[in-house]
Structure 1
């Protein structure tokens, strides 16, 4: 009897529990469905803070920059004018040596060349004797013709020996030229530097034989170096007139590209001052740019020698340009735009017309309606959009 009551009680308790769970779950489901039907609570929009600079149009002097490789004024493969065996080679005729114009670099055997000079000198003396004899015959013939009393000219110029005298004079002239050529050949047996140069290589040694036209070595001119600097059309527009560029050695600053921005002291020494030598008169077919040629005289005697092959950054002052904004370089977006903030704190994007730039700034034509006292973003982000509301925070023009 008690067992039956206990089993019934358990069934009643279990039924009550199941019913309670059902009622609880039904209430939870109803509450969830009701919450899903309600609109979400509005969230407050966060206004981004942006850094801006306030700018006004002003006049700035352009600075045009470029780069190029230093090349020697002359690059020469030194050849021999005459044939001969190399008797000696000067110590200066070695790779890396700096030689002055006229320095003897090598000596060829000149015994045959000396003989040629003496033979030519003898031929000239013989021709001169023949000319003097013919001159005497010519004078005598003219005197005899005058004594003859004949008033008419002779039937042939041979009578007065005019052609014979001209032929004798031609023989003298030819012999003199032959002697001069023989002397030049003799002088050429001594190989000399034709200009101040750096020896790049030497191709001969004592005892070697050189044919006329044979290679002796190679030289690079040391009197002047040139730097060809390609410039775009906008850079040319920022420069003064060509007449000013080519007058009074218009100054150009150069710095070795591998020392630019260094902190080991090279930046203070690897700098040079050159000048504009001339301007290119054609466009490069691949870059469609025109080059400005800068030069440095006596490059190897500078405080820091400027060697051919050095790659340098070049800068020179341009013309003064008025009505421009000076902006941090970071103000130019990746799409070539600058962004302004209106009085209502709304963003606007404008295509940038960059007139020139330097290491820290760009100089652009003003945009928008409020060109004086305009607020320009220091660093626009790609996520910004036109009309976006922002909270501008003022910075100075140096970004501090």
Structure 2
């Protein structure tokens, strides 16, 4: 009895299961039809191009050198008595400091002798003038010769007096030169004398570098020359060293050497730094021999675009049109500055620049724009 009941209901169960499966398949198909199509467009980031005036920066490198150097010589002969404690290599001396002294007895005696000769010459002149007055009175208007009136004797006495005055000047100069003084604030580079040493007139005994001013001679490449300001003199420049303890000082461009090197095709400019050893300030000293970077303002370029170099490939950039399609655009590179190109032609204000390219960008490729966290513009930072 049970078997007959089971055999009768089994086909009905199979039918219900089949109907349920078909309904599930149909519902699944309808759900697939209701799903939206997948957006396969690549996502890119964009920026708005804005042209602005941009001031070029000229950068070059050079070595710090003294404005002038002087070989110190003994101007009189004699024995060295003393020398300044800073008159040693590496020492700093100030303008007017006595570098060393020479025994002065001989030159003091020469000055006294010259003064005595001047007194004698003055006395002789007074005597001749008195004799001339007597002779003129005796003549009483008579026609007499110049010799009778002692005019030649007076001229001779006057000449002797001038000669004595000249000897006094020479003797005084020699005496003054027994003390050799620093002609400017200086760094002592070399000293070749000692106490008790006899030096001859004109012998070189030391070398000084002027530390009141220093200069840096630096080259300007041909591609930089056209961006130099019209008036280069007195242009403020920043002079800096590299490294952990970097030094930054300010100077002024003073002149162009006026020559283009035949081998390098570069011109040479000179920047001057006042008080490089900081005797009159608390700034860090900029020593001679430092290799420094020189940076100063060049010309101002009107209405240019400043783009990162990675966005420009073979002078091609990618723009986004109104239909959000990528379009290649050739541009004219006016100048390279660091990691940027200055673009003069090929871009228009408000062009939409693609800054993150798909792996294989193509003309007319449709893309979608990523939502920016903040609005960005391509422009020069003034």
Q: Pick from 127, 135, 141: which aligns with 1:148?
A: 141
| Structure 1 position 311 matched with structure 2 position 291 | yes
- The answer to whether the aligner puts 1:352 opposite 2:333 as a matched pair is yes
Which of these residues, 213, 216, 220, is aligned with residue 227 of structure 1? 216
Give the Cα separation in 2 of the matches to 1:159 and 1:282. 71
8 Å CA contact 2:50, 2:377 repeated in 1: no
**What does residue 105 of structure 2 align with?**
111
Instruction: Answer yes or no: is the 8 Å Cα contact 2:221–2:267 preserved in 1.
Output: yes
Aligned pair in 2 of structure 1 residues 223, 49: CA closer, same or farther (>3 Å)?
Answer: same
Give how far 1:276 is off: 2.9
Aligned counterpart for 1:255 among listed residues 240, 246, 261: 240
Whole-Å separation in 1 of the counterparts to 2:134 and 2:354? 105
Q: How does 1:47-58 map to 2 (within 5 A)?
A: 55-58=49-52
The alpha-carbon deviation at position 60 of structure 1 amounts to 1.2
Question: Residue 328 of structure 1: CA displacement?
Answer: 2.1
Aligned equivalent of 1:71: 65
5+ residue gaps, structure 1: 1-46
| TM-score normalized with structure 1 length | 0.69
| Structure-2 residue corresponding to 1:87 | 81
What is the correspondence of 1:1-400 to structure 2 with a 5 Å cutoff?
55-145=49-139, 147-150=140-143, 157-232=146-221, 234-242=223-231, 245-246=232-233, 250-256=235-241, 258-259=242-243, 264=244, 266-267=245-246, 270-301=247-278, 302=281, 303-330=283-310, 338-341=315-318, 345=326, 347=328, 352-354=333-335, 357=337, 359-366=338-345, 368=346, 370-373=347-350, 397=378
What is the Cα deviation at residue 282 of structure 1? 3.3
CA contact (8 A) 1:338 1:352 kept: yes
Change (3 A) 1:192 1:111: same
Tell me how far apart the structure 1 counterparts of residues 134 and 43 of structure 2 sit (CA, whole Å): 115
Distance in 1 separating the partners of 2:179 and 2:355: 68
Q: Deviation string for 1:133-156 (max 9, x for gaps)?
A: 2333344444445x2244xxx6x5
SS at match of 2:259: strand
Cα distance in 1, alignment partners of residues 97 and 110 from structure 2:
25
CA contact (8 A) 1:54 1:374 kept: yes
Aligned counterparts of 1:231 and 1:324: Cα–Cα separation in 2: 23
Q: Which residue of 1 aligns with 2:22?
A: none
Q: Distance in 2 between matches of 1:187 and 1:200?
A: 24
Secondary structure at 1:125's aligned position in 2? helix
Q: Given that residues 92 and 188 in structure 2 are in contact (C-alpha distance below 8 angstroms), is that contact kept between their aligned partners in structure 1?
A: yes
Structure 2 contact 334–341 (Cα < 8 Å) conserved? no
What is the alpha-carbon distance in structure 1 between the residues aligned to residue 261 and residue 189 of structure 2?
29
* Rounded Cα–Cα distance in structure 2 between residues aligned with 1:378 and 1:174: 89
SS at match of 2:254: strand
User: Match of 1:253, SS?
Assistant: strand
**C-alpha spacing 1:377/1:111, structure 2 compared with 1 (3 Å):** farther
Cα deviation 1:203-260 (Å, max 9, x = unaligned): 1111222111111111111111112232245534434332xx54xx54221111x33x
Cα distance, 1:397–1:351 mapped onto 2, change above 3 Å: closer
For 1:86 and 1:207, the matched residues in 2 are separated by 5
Give the distance between the partners of 2:46 and 2:75, measured in 1 at CA. Answer: 72
| Aligned-residue offset at 1:81 | 0.8
Determine helix, strand or coil for the equivalent of 2:277. helix
CA contact (8 A) 2:102 2:179 kept: yes
Count of residue pairs the alignment pairs up = 324
Q: Deviations over 1:269-303 (max 9, x none)?
A: x1111223334333344433333322222222241
CA contact (8 A) 1:201 1:219 kept: yes
Alpha carbons 2:50, 2:378 under 8 Å: kept: no
Contact kept in structure 2, 1:62 and 1:318, CA below 8 Å: yes
The RMSD of aligned alpha carbons is 3.5
